[in-house]
Amino acid sequence: MGKYIVLVTLAAAVTFAILMGQSRSTAHKTTEEQVDRQEEILSRQIARSGFNLGLSEVRQTLEDPTDETFDLPGTNTSDGAAEDEYDGGRYTLHISSTDPADVPVTLTAVGDYEETQYKIAGVVEQIDGLFGALTIDGAPSRVERDGKAGGGPNPDTGVISGLNEGSGADRHGVRISDAKAADNASQDDNDGGLCASNKNQVNVEGLGRERCDVGHRSDMDTASLQEAVEELASSNKAVDGKNTICDGDDVGTEDEPAVVRVDGNCKMSGNTTGTGILYVTGEVEMEETELLGTVSWNGLIFVDGVQDGEGGGAFKTAAGTPTINGSIVQVGDSPMEFNGNPTVQYDSDQLLNLIGPDLLDRDLIVTPRITARGEDFCDDPGNCPSADALLNR
């Protein structure tokens, strides 16, 4: 009996020792996992913080036309990157080009904490938020093209096009904030709309429907642009359209864009070319014939239309093939007519040319945005996925 008690006691002691060993092993393993998890969390936070700091620098540089290079925060390294300590770890930033003219650019950030690395890659582009070929913030009674006077079967004649003639991204052809007005404008030109009744013809093109890119956009915000243009039109920089374009005189150049204000009725005809901002509170009519010559405007035409049933400007093309390179924006409910074979060609370069200390702020024309982003842990320190691999996941 005594031996039996000794054996039982010994067995219990052995079992207890095994259980204690397992408990210590489990506790050690749990501690290691917690440490690894903590390193992962911190490396990710450091990478994201570094990326946001780099992104802030990119945005500030793009919003300041006097800045000629991206100066990433941190200490520059031999391979063109920048790095700095952060929250007990370190981030490393790299950008595909330091020249703002090379946008879109790819920005990467790697966060290091102990033995763990996390990488983020993002593409930053300048997005033309408001503009397309024609943007109307209002409920015009009609936005139409005269189908009988329209361009015939040639799809390159008389087109409202959001396909960018400049260096930026393509945009929509026509967008109208009022749903009913947008629906009316999307009808065939023989039914009081803009779109081609001739199936071999293209009247409106852009990012949307191939033959008739006329649509509704309810979230447009034109208030800041309107305020800025109104202020310019009331400044000493503005010239009176009656004494310039209404008399057949050229106004503005690429190097010195003009600000032209039209309060009354004005017919642009003859060999007339304008470059800059045309602010319309009266009525502007563009007409071009073989006898009268060519008519064109390069830049922005801003129509301050009828609002709350009062006042307001209006814009129309009367005949021939007048050309607008840039964009037309109308605020208000004034009707808009495109007769003859006019071309309204979206051109981001013409709009970018309007940015300057005595013209428009950059953020009214373009806004830096991330158009693609990817992130993940690195397999081992120094063995991170490429930017392309992250962006394509």
Same domain, 337 and 201: yes
Whole-angstrom Cα distance, residue 318 to residue 50?
56
Same domain, 41 and 78: yes
Same domain, 44 and 145: no
In a domain, 138, yes or no: yes
Same domain, 41 and 93: yes
Same domain, 359 and 385: no
Whole-angstrom Cα distance, residue 179 to residue 215?
8
Same domain, 151 and 299: yes
Sequence-ordered strand ranges (E) for 50-165: 75-76, 82-86, 89-95, 105-113, 116-127, 134-137, 143-145, 160-161
In a domain, 185, yes or no: yes
Whole-angstrom Cα distance, residue 348 to residue 131?
9
Same domain, 178 and 264: yes
Contact criterion met (CB below 8 Å) for 174 and 132 = yes
Task: Supply the pLDDT for residue 265.
Answer: 86
In a domain, 186, yes or no: yes
Which residue segment(s) compose the domain that 73 sits in? 36-128+368-391
How crowded is residue 2: how many other Cβ atoms within 10 Å of its Cβ?
6
Same domain, 333 and 317: yes
Whole-angstrom Cα distance, residue 241 to residue 252?
12
Task: Find the Cα–Cα–Cα–Cα dihedral 199, 201, 204, 206, rounded to 10°.
Answer: 90
Query: What is the reported pTM?
Result: 0.71
Task: Supply the pLDDT for residue 290.
Answer: 59
In a domain, 8, yes or no: no
In a domain, 14, yes or no: no
In a domain, 31, yes or no: no
In a domain, 198, yes or no: yes
Tokens of 76: 């520059």
Same domain, 118 and 165: no
Same domain, 150 and 208: yes
Ranges in the chain, pLDDT < 50:
28, 148-156
Contact criterion met (CB below 8 Å) for 228 and 360 = yes
Same domain, 304 and 230: yes
Number of structural domains found in the chain = 2
Task: Supply the pLDDT for residue 159.
Answer: 87
In a domain, 30, yes or no: no
Same domain, 93 and 231: no
